[in-house]
Amino acid sequence: MNPQSLAVEPFLDASGPILDVRSPGEYAQAHIPGAISLPLFSDAERAEIGTLYKQRGRGPAVRRGLAVVGPRLEALAAELQRHADAAGGETLRLHCWRGGMRSGSVAWLAGTLELPVLLLEGGYKRFRRWALELFEQPWPVRLLGGRTGSGKTELLLALQRRGVAVIDLEGLAHHRGSSFGALGLPPQPSTEHYENRLAMALRQLRGAREIWLEAESSQVGRCRIPAGLWRQMQQAPVLEVRRPLQQRLDHLVAIYGVQDPGALADATRRIARRLGPQRTAAALAAIEQRDWHTACAQMLNYYDRCYDHELTSHPVDPVDLGALDPEAAAALLLERGLIAGA
């Protein structure tokens, strides 16, 4: 009996672990968020068999694949059983690149172990098409703006805890969106994997009256916001958070004052042309002296000008939150009806 193949949405809705049987390199580049890597071939084996398929056809490629996998069948079967046991006997959801021989072969092996299996119709390639099409759909996007140091991310997360539909663009990118944004955070995903993470986050918010995102430029570090979503962000209204300068400086010092001074200096040098020689020198001297407030003040002049320029095309509704902490600020915005509750 052949295993059932499902389209992307039913496949994602099903229960059980998702096992990605593509090569380690394919998985590392990008994958369905939450999927577990269970490669049938190594990167080198995949390249060899793919070349053989192009040059000599399916038959020789299949035979070479069998020769490569044969000695590993027992170990692969044990891995399938382990994942099934860990999931309490739930169905194993399998996919490869196009839903072809690799996932079909692993599904056959699972079948010999009497493990229930579902396949992704069209494989990861179909998932990618689904993800990119998702960004082209209309979404009720709203933006939370505010100058650097206004605590926008913390405020969005506080709103999310109160049931507001929020997508943390910076959190998904592992980057705070400036020259200093990667400091103290895990490595960034590829743009492709960032798109996958965004697609899955959007999918969870279907039916929301509003979806709140932070006002960003088109790139968050090296991760580019998908074109379809970015176009909608450019047309979205902005609720602009305003905070006193000292509050903003204190917030930045709390984040960056604990980072490596050498890394802070390197990040400052990367924007030296935009800061100008005097501000760059003042910032570097302040970093060397561990005078974090002075260092941050030099940066704010530049980042404030960038922010003000980027916001000129948006309808803006300002709100002064003073020194309120994120929880109190979130409660105030909901109480005033500036943000729709759950």
* Domain final residue, candidates 132, 152, 182: 132
Residue range 27-74, pLDDT digits in tens? 999 999 999 999 988 888 888 888 888 888 788 877 887 787 777 889
Please give the structure tokens belonging to residue 322.
Answer: 């003073």
In a domain? residue 172: yes
Residue 159's nearest CA partner among 236, 237, 213 is 213
- Largest interatomic CA distance in the chain: 73
Q: Are residues 60 and 106 in the same domain?
A: yes
Q: Are residues 313 and 330 in the same domain?
A: yes
By residue range, what is the domain housing residue 13? 4-132
Amino acid at 240: E
Query: What is residue 118's three-state secondary structure?
Result: strand
The residue annotated as part of the active site, out of 96, 223, 296, 306, is 96
For 185-192, the CB contacts below 8 A with 24+ separation are 188/221, 188/222, 188/223, 189/30, 189/223, 190/29, 190/30, 190/223, 191/222, 191/223, 191/224, 192/29, 192/30, 192/128
- How far from each other are the two terminal CA atoms of the chain, in whole angstroms? 45
Q: How many domains does the chain have?
A: 2
In a domain? residue 215: yes
CATH assignment at residue 169: 3.40.50
Residue 1 vs residues 7, 17, 20, 106, 114: alpha-carbon distances, Å: 19, 21, 22, 14, 11
Q: Are residues 62 and 179 in the same domain?
A: no
Q: Are residues 78 and 168 in the same domain?
A: no
In a domain? residue 35: yes
Q: Assess contact for 147 and 248: CB atoms under 8 A.
A: yes
Q: Are residues 88 and 208 in the same domain?
A: no
Please give the structure tokens belonging to residue 289.
Answer: 């002296």
The pLDDT of residue 203 is above 90: yes
Q: Assess contact for 6 and 118: CB atoms under 8 A.
A: yes
In a domain? residue 193: yes
Tell me, rounded to whole angstroms, the distance of Cα 336 from its chain centroid. Answer: 31
Q: What is d(CA 256, CA 301) in angstroms, rounded to the nearest whole number?
A: 17
Q: Are residues 318 and 192 in the same domain?
A: yes
Q: Are residues 114 and 152 in the same domain?
A: no
Q: What percent of the chain clears pLDDT 90, i.e. is strictly above it?
A: 75
The pLDDT of residue 94 is above 90: yes
In a domain? residue 342: no
CATH assignment at residue 121: 3.40.250.10
In a domain? residue 340: no
Instruction: Taking residues 209-236, report their average pLDDT.
Output: 94
* Domain final residue, candidates 132, 151, 170: 132
Q: Are residues 241 and 120 in the same domain?
A: no
Q: What percent of the chain clears pLDDT 70, i.e. is strictly above it?
A: 98
Q: Are residues 112 and 25 in the same domain?
A: yes
Residue range 125-172, pLDDT digits in tens? 999 999 999 999 999 999 999 999 999 999 999 999 999 999 999 999
Q: Are residues 162 and 289 in the same domain?
A: yes
In a domain? residue 341: no
Whether 306 is catalytic is no
pLDDT tier at 340, thresholds 50, 70, 90? confident
Q: Are residues 13 and 88 in the same domain?
A: yes
Q: What is d(CA 2, CA 284) in angstroms, rounded to the nearest whole number?
A: 65
Instruction: Taking residues 279-295, report their average pLDDT.
Output: 93
* Domain final residue, candidates 101, 132, 163: 132
Q: Are residues 210 and 281 in the same domain?
A: yes
In a domain? residue 325: yes
